[in-house]
Amino acid sequence: MAYRNLMIASNAQLKIKNEQLLIKTDTTHSVPIEDINSVLVENHQSTITIATLAKLVQDGVTIFVCDEKHTPCAIMMPFAQNARQYGVVKLQESLSLPLQKQLWQQIVKYKINNQAICLEFNKQNNAAQQLRSLAKKVTSGDSNNTEAVAAAVYFKALFGPDFIRSNDDDLRNAALNYGYAIIRGHIARLIASYGFLPMKGIHHKSELNAYNLADDFIEPFRPVVDLFVAKEAQAFEAVTPQLKQKLYNLLNMDIKIAQQNHSVAYAAEKMIQSFSRCCQKTSKELLLPTLVALRQHTYE
């Protein structure tokens, strides 16, 4: 199983040789392609050949490209990698509206409960209890918009009453956006590799968004980023390469799913597998993650 997430922060040349990704800086590093989950190319002076890009993407590696602010702005992922994509898309298209609403209800409940756990880890027990009560009130399709009500309570409790989520000058917002972008990109790659249309969401429906389905499924994972930022971002004065590396590494942190601890990256895959079963009408329940304390996942 691919588990390595590579961040290219310095000037480097990337090439493929003998099923290995060669990363040439002052020295040359070699990484088996089969071990690579994603590559984040942050340095604008780095070079990578088209053949290398094609090989990585064909082998299921997600490639992130950063903008001038060193924030992920684009991803490359497999196109039509699934041999039965037409059949998968037909199943996705046939997902009934009532079931879509039930699935969104499940996602929102898990998101709010994970936000409550995050608050508990930060000693905000009263607000956490308020969120747990709200989670019980989530209706099919979240018709009452309980998700937004919970968010209004959550961010103020987590980061203080003066925190404004839309403030781009706040380091915490920059860190949150960076972490969310990484997990969103990983989920988008999984969606495509399992043959689904990323633009067709179960709740998000924007015609201008190519990743509506990824924006649905990232929701219960967001508190992983929130917890990290609340615990560790205050040690940084800016979004430094060290902070970005830690945010990128959140894909390798523990999270619980199906009563077992897995990496965030693998838990996301189990979630998309469960969505496939829902589309095949063999289940009406998604496998969704439960937040645990921040710790690096260990692979046996």
CA-to-CA distance for 110 and 125, rounded, in angstroms?
Answer: 18
Q: What angle do CA 156, 232, 250 make, to 5 degrees?
A: 100
| 70 in a labelled binding site | no
| 297 in a labelled binding site | no
159, 230 Cβ separation under 8 angstroms: yes
Q: What angle do CA 153, 154, 159 make, to 5 degrees?
A: 110
| 300 in a labelled binding site | no
CA-to-CA distance for 4 and 117, rounded, in angstroms?
Answer: 28
Annotated binding residues, as ranges? 147, 204, 219
Annotated binding residues for Mn(2+), as ranges? 147, 204, 219
